Amino acid sequence: MTHLRVAVDIGGTFTDICILDDRDGSLEITKIPSTTDPIDAVLEGLDKAGVKLEDVSLFSHGTTVATNALIERNLPHTALVTTEGFRDIIEIGNATKEDLWDAYKDNPSAYIRRRDRLTISECVLADGKLEKPVNESQAQELARVLKKRDYKAIAICFMNSYANPANELWLKEYLQNLLPSVAISTSAEVLPEIFEHERFSTAVVNAVLRPVVGHYAVRLQSNLKSRGYQSDVLLLHSGGGVMTPKTIDFQAARLASSGIAAGAIANKYIGEICGYPNVLGVDMGGTSTDVSMTFESTMTTTRDWYIEYGQPISFPSIDIKTIGAGGGSIAWLDEGGALRNGPHSAGSNPGPACYGLGGDEPTNTDANLVLGRLGNDLVGGGLALDVSLAVRAIESKIAEPLGMDVQTAAEAIINVANANMADAIRLVSISKGYDPRDFALVAFGGAGALHGVALAQELSVPTVIVPPHPGVTSALGCLLVDIRHDLLTTLVVETSKADPKMIEEEFVKLEKEAISRLSTEGVERIDMVLKRSIDMRYAGQWRSLNVSVSQPFTSIDDAVNGFLAQHMREYKYVRDEASVEIFRLNLSAVGITPKAELPQSAPNPITPKPDAFRDVIFAGKTYPTSIFKRQNLSSGAQINGPAVVHQLDSTTVIPPDAVASIDKFENIVINIQRQDRG
């Protein structure tokens, strides 16, 4: 009988595996180096953990395969077929640049070269009227060229296909009959979006990734099946859900941020079990930090994301800000002599100076070691840290040029890193109208718990939560997701002229498509949850806000009031005299899957005894500090700061005046004195 649930999160350095046993709720963690072929690491990790795949009921997977393919441009030979006169849409974009002030820096080139962008004569008017169908003789010549050039994938993107997809769908069927082995994506099926650049770009990304992730998913499924696994592999996508290999044709582009989404999902879950519907997640690894937010138990989402600037992927995605701040981020002085931190990193080889592997640049890890916040070894991790090498790097590169002592320079390095991360938190919270003081902060990743309390103090967040296994929390997130699809239809109409019955009819169409997709993936109707929303904006504006609406849809006024309330929260004003416009109808279709339930421990309120003591520097002052091993702390224990908690995958710093307790899920919950500034 199957009793195991397995989650795998493949990162650039390590592959993390979580195995949950449904019989007793026990959770086993395995961490191994990633391999050139990611599947090798998955299989090696399962072997290392002794997992028999015939005992596995669920296999959920977050992967960087799609992300790496886009970054490295390791993509299949792909063609774009578009309306005559519009072959350069994906290169022109929206005529913006990532750095407006650098006249010499160009945006990255399009994923499909100009020579591979082919055109055909067709016309659909903006109101959806089919003005000119595709000419069959042109289509025949197009097929001949496509076959001769041996394309592996094709993106069909016609100008007004969002209003009427007939021409795109006809050409897709025609080409598929002649080129059955080629992966064909149409913009109307991938993203029926009015803005052509976003629609074309998303369809292109979907096309170039379909052979990549499709082949990967098939190989992974085949390998697991040969070892006894009988169910579908669930692939984590950017919207915070999972998909099966059957739906990759529709949403391959959503796997472009598969890996980082898992951490945001885990952040939401940890907040919920600890009683905090509002949580900020800080996932700090060796190279970067991912910041996410959950408000009222709902993860915030965005359509404005990309792997490379100018190549938008406009599926709804969890709103995650990633910055170059990690344990290996290098501290350096700019031309003006100012101290900077990151985004470049020492990586794992040679790594921070204290690793003794040849690195001589000062990093956040070196600074934390000099300050006493890290010990001389990684708690059985097999790597001794050399504080003398850390001192030498900080002294020569930072302290001496700035006229500081080494300890002061080390604190300055950490303060700059914290300031960078605090700014990222402000971007997902304060800039959107949310007050961090109304949130708890979940600190995870290999380095998150080192910096979590300092970030909370900077932002006046009252509570920090450190999960039991911070370094592999993202893998845990893969066990907490549902199958999810996001569907939409463009509908531009002023609310004063909108017909609720017509809007309800459009939602019903979306629901039929959603139910069909979920049914194909084996989801029973009772396990389907359909959530509606409308994108609305002031008439004449471009940017819109997403407003949840009821089912069935009956009231335009309720939708407008929801828009005005959200506009006030995010922008702090409303325009009473301005007309409000509906822009897009959205449907989130969720197929509920069985969830992991973490084990709970009965409280044992015994004051733990420190395993050691060490001098640690906080705010320029040295404190004798209690050192604990995480495995020796049980539910109900309380720790008064200053203290440091070590474990294999992370280190938690509890500063003076903070009090920590271990809850029934074995999270470390740290309460901080508010430091509100007048």
Q: Which of 371, 408, 369 is nearest to 387 (CA)?
A: 369
Q: Which strand (E) or helix (H) includes residue 553? A: none
Alpha carbon distance 587, 239 (integer Å): 12
Amino acid 404 reads: M
Decide: residue 405, CB within 10 A, 0-12 exposed, 13-18 middle, 19+ buried.
exposed
Q: pLDDT band at residue 379, thresholds of 50, 70 and 90? A: very low
Can you give the pLDDT at residue 12? Answer: 62
Select from 190, 213, 236 the last residue of a domain. Answer: 213
| Other C-beta atoms lying within 10 Å of the C-beta of residue 659 | 15
Q: Is the peptide bond before 343 cis (omega within 30 degrees of 0)?
A: yes
Q: With respect to residue 315, please indicate whether it lies within any of the assigned structural domains.
A: no
Specify the pTM: 0.81
Q: Which strand (E) or helix (H) includes residue 647? A: strand 643-647
Asked if residue 577 and residue 641 are part of one domain, the reply reads no
Alpha carbon distance 386, 439 (integer Å): 38
Q: How many CA atoms lie within 13 A of 589 on its CB side?
A: 23
Question: Where is average pLDDT lowest: 391-395, 476-480, 494-498, 583-587?
Answer: 476-480
Can you give the pLDDT at residue 238? Answer: 86
Can you give the pLDDT at residue 674? Answer: 53
Alpha carbon distance 503, 532 (integer Å): 11
Query: Which residues contact residue 665 at a Cβ distance below 8 angstroms, ignoring those fewer than 6 apart?
Result: 273, 274, 468, 598, 599, 600, 601
Q: With respect to residue 27, please indicate whether it lies within any of the assigned structural domains.
A: no
Query: Which residues contact residue 349 at a Cβ distance below 8 angstroms, ignoring those fewer than 6 apart?
Result: 357
The answer on pLDDT for 607 being more than 90 is no
Asked if residue 207 and residue 75 are part of one domain, the reply reads yes
| Other C-beta atoms lying within 10 Å of the C-beta of residue 597 | 11
Amino acid 76 reads: P
**Which pairing describes strands 659-662 and 638-640: parallel, antiparallel, or unpaired?**
antiparallel
The answer on pLDDT for 676 being more than 50 is no
Asked if residue 622 and residue 521 are part of one domain, the reply reads no
Alpha carbon distance 285, 348 (integer Å): 11
Tokens representing 234 are 């669930």
Q: With respect to residue 458, please indicate whether it lies within any of the assigned structural domains.
A: no
Mean pLDDT (the chain) is 90
pLDDT average, residue stretch 87-99: 89
Residue 397 per-residue DSSP state? I
Q: pLDDT band at residue 382, thresholds of 50, 70 and 90? A: low
Asked if residue 565 and residue 652 are part of one domain, the reply reads no
Asked if residue 649 and residue 526 are part of one domain, the reply reads no
Query: Which residues contact residue 642 at a Cβ distance below 8 angstroms, ignoring those fewer than 6 apart?
Result: 616, 618, 623, 625, 626, 654, 655, 656
Helix, strand, or coil (residue 331): strand
Select from 184, 213, 242 the last residue of a domain. Answer: 213
Alpha carbon distance 50, 525 (integer Å): 36
Alpha carbon distance 61, 180 (integer Å): 29
Amino acid 527 reads: D
**Which pairing describes strands 78-83 and 56-62: parallel, antiparallel, or unpaired?**
unpaired
Q: What angle do CA 352, 356, 359 make, to 5 degrees?
A: 45
pLDDT tens per residue across span 25-53: 778 888 887 788 889 989 998 999 899 99
The percent of residues in the chain predicted with pLDDT above 70, rounded, is 97
The answer on pLDDT for 110 being more than 90 is yes
Provide the sign of the torsion angle of the four alpha carbons 390, 391, 396, 400, taken in this order: positive
Asked if residue 665 and residue 532 are part of one domain, the reply reads no
The answer on pLDDT for 378 being more than 70 is no
| CATH, residue 108 | 3.40.1360
Asked if residue 559 and residue 521 are part of one domain, the reply reads yes
Alpha carbon distance 538, 547 (integer Å): 13
Asked if residue 202 and residue 74 are part of one domain, the reply reads yes
Q: With respect to residue 537, please indicate whether it lies within any of the assigned structural domains.
A: yes
Q: With respect to residue 552, please indicate whether it lies within any of the assigned structural domains.
A: yes
Helix, strand, or coil (residue 412): helix
Number of domains in the chain: 3
| CATH, residue 506 | 3.30.1490
The answer on pLDDT for 265 being more than 60 is yes
Amino acid 504 reads: E
Q: With respect to residue 209, please indicate whether it lies within any of the assigned structural domains.
A: yes
What is the b/e burial string over 522-533, where b = at least 16 CB atoms within 10 angstroms of the residue's CB?
A: ebeeeebebebb
Q: pLDDT band at residue 408, thresholds of 50, 70 and 90? A: very high
pLDDT average, residue stretch 200-210: 95
Higher pLDDT, 83 or 431: 83
What is the b/e burial string over 606-641, where b = at least 16 CB atoms within 10 angstroms of the residue's CB?
A: eebeeeeebebbbeeeebebbbbbbeebebbbebeb
Q: With respect to residue 366, please indicate whether it lies within any of the assigned structural domains.
A: no
Task: Kindly give the interhelix angle for 406-428 and 387-394, rounded to the nearest 10 degrees.
Answer: 80
Question: Where is average pLDDT lowest: 138-147, 390-399, 484-493?
Answer: 484-493
Tokens representing 283 are 């996932």
Hey, which bits of 51-132 come out as E strands? 56-62, 78-83, 117-120, 123-124, 130-132
Asked if residue 628 and residue 583 are part of one domain, the reply reads no
Amino acid 475 reads: A
626 within 8 A of 613, measured Cβ to Cβ: yes
Helix, strand, or coil (residue 486): strand
Taking CA atoms, 190 is separated from 198, 200, 280, 534, 591, in Å, by 11, 9, 31, 19, 20
The answer on pLDDT for 15 being more than 70 is yes
Q: Which of 427, 439, 462, 461 is nearest to 277 (CA)?
A: 439
DSSP string, 210-255: HHHHHHHHHHHHHHHHHTT--SPEEEE-TTS-EE-GGGHHHHGGGG
Asked if residue 186 and residue 77 are part of one domain, the reply reads yes
120 within 8 A of 133, measured Cβ to Cβ: no
Q: Which of 87, 122, 304 is nearest to 202 (CA)?
A: 304
pLDDT tens per residue across span 322-346: 888 888 899 999 999 999 998 888 8
Alpha carbon distance 379, 612 (integer Å): 13
pLDDT average, residue stretch 192-203: 93
Alpha carbon distance 240, 105 (integer Å): 34
Asked if residue 646 and residue 518 are part of one domain, the reply reads no
Tokens representing 470 are 């911070």
Q: With respect to residue 384, please indicate whether it lies within any of the assigned structural domains.
A: no
Tokens representing 590 are 């969720």
Asked if residue 194 and residue 102 are part of one domain, the reply reads yes
563 within 8 A of 490, measured Cβ to Cβ: no
Q: Tell me phi and psi for residue 175, to 5 degrees.
A: -70, -35
Structural domain boundaries enclosing 587: 483-591
Provide the sign of the torsion angle of the four alpha carbons 660, 662, 666, 672, taken in this order: negative
Select from 558, 591, 624 the last residue of a domain. Answer: 591
pLDDT average, residue stretch 3-20: 82
H helices present in 499-555, as ranges: 500-520
Residue 547 per-residue DSSP state? E
Can you give the pLDDT at residue 602? Answer: 82
273 within 8 A of 412, measured Cβ to Cβ: no
pLDDT average, residue stretch 411-433: 94
Total residues found in the chain within this entry: 678
Question: Where is average pLDDT lowest: 181-185, 234-238, 528-532, 560-564?
Answer: 234-238
